[in-house]
Structures are given as structure tokens and as C-alpha cells.
Amino acid sequence: MDKTVSDLSVENGRDGALVLDRMEDYWSGLRRGKTVPYRSDVDPRSVQRMLRHAFILERLAPGVGKLRVSCSTLTDLQGMDMRGMPIASIISEESREEFAEILEQVFAGPATARLELSTSRGFRKNGKRASMLLLPLRSDSGEINRVLGAVSVFEIGRNGPTRFDLTESLLHDVSVKDDGLAERLSARPVTLVDRQKALSADERQASTVATRHAHLRLVVSDT
């Protein structure tokens, strides 16, 4: 029996966070000592249970990513096949500049990103919430110009195309240890204004760096 939109909403809400965690664990396993794994390392059979949520982006320009592979969650959300469309098409106009900065940092850092998204409640509109994970990948040329992503949406409705506001975001740098890391990143789209003290080793040997967006934090890894 085909699943209804309501069924998919329950699946997203119940399992969404777990799906994102599993996807990140899978990506981490592909690294095998590399900073960023290759697109060719990704085996759909290994993420079979996450395919409903998984997508792959291609970098077209700074901060612009096109969906090379979409997923049924995005199709159900937007009411159309999203392949070939920019991922920013699900982001509100007010949040697109910031979203573009974060996406570019995923490529340029390189970094992983976790985003929290929401829509406004209004007349004949159900408020929706979503979580998105963005993980950098290399193409066969070695350039970091792909992203393995996952999205989990709560309260999927039947109101047609949806535009989300960016409400919270976390970037985790995955480059090799470099004392000049914060200074280098400060010249990139997500401006760094302060470097805080490193946390303890038990807290993954990472430090959090403030950015010009109040809800955005950059976790700088020493690994």
C-alpha cells in the first residue's frame, strides 16, 4: 500500500533526527582518514533505509547548489520532482543569502552543517519544521563540489510549494588541524568575529566560533 502524506509526516517526525545522525555516521565512515570522501564512495545500497530523506547537490556557483539526486521527502513537500532545481528553492527569500553563505562554507571549509528550518503559521497554512544535514563530497577530479544531504520534515501538509526560514544552524569544520584556521575562515562568507576557548577533549576537542548570524555557530575541530 502506498504511504499517504500523513504517514510520511509521522515517519519524518519520529525518525528524522535519527536519520540525520545515521547519515552523518555513514559519511564519517567513508572518510577513512580522508578529510572529505568522494561522491563515488557513496553506495545507495548502504543508505537504503535513508533514501527517502537523502539528496545530492552539485555546486554551480558560490553558495548555489543544484539537486543532482532528490528524494521523496522533498517531492512530497514541494508537490513536484525537485531534481535539477536549486536547493535554495525551498528557502524563503529572507533566508536565502544566509543559506547560501552556509552552503558555500560546507564546500570551502570544508565543513558539515546542521540546519533547523520553519515556516510561519497563517491563514490556511500549517506551520512546518524541518531539519537538514549537509555533508561535503569530492567529485572524481578531487574538487569539493558535491554535498550529500538529508532532510527531515515535520508536519508535511498539502499546501503546495513550501519556503522555509532558517532558524538555527551549526557548522562543524572538518579540515585538518591548523592554527590559522579561524583567520582563514574569517575571509569567507560566514564572518568570524571571535574565537572562544577550546572545549575539553571529552567534548570532541572542538571550539565554537561566533559568526555574524546570531543563531549560527562554527565548531572548529582539531581532528
Q: What is the pTM of this model?
A: 0.74
Q: What average pLDDT does this structure show over 35-58?
A: 92
Domain over 5-168 is classified CATH 3.30.450.20: yes
Q: Which pLDDT band holds residue 34 (cuts at 50, 70, 90)?
A: confident
Domain map (residue ranges) of the chain? 5-168
Taking residues 165-190, what's their average pLDDT? 62
Please provide the average confidence, as pLDDT, over all residues in the chain: 76
Give phi and psi for 23, each to the nearest 5.
-65, -40
**218 residue type, one letter:** L
Amino acid 158: pLDDT: 56
Angstrom distance (rounded) from CA 175 to CA 133: 18
How many other C-beta atoms can be found within 10 angstroms of the C-beta atom of residue 168? 15
Q: Dump pLDDT digits (tens) for 92-142.
A: 999 999 999 999 999 999 999 999 999 875 545 557 889 999 999 999 999
pLDDT exceeds 80 at position 203: no
Q: Cα–Cα distance between 63 and 41 in angstroms, integer? A: 24
How do strand 216-221 and strand 54-61 relate by DSSP bridges?
A: unpaired
Q: How confident is the model at residue 220 (pLDDT cuts 50, 70, 90)?
A: low
What's the confidence (pLDDT) of residue 122?
53
CA distances from 38 to 144, 208, 213 (A): 8, 27, 30
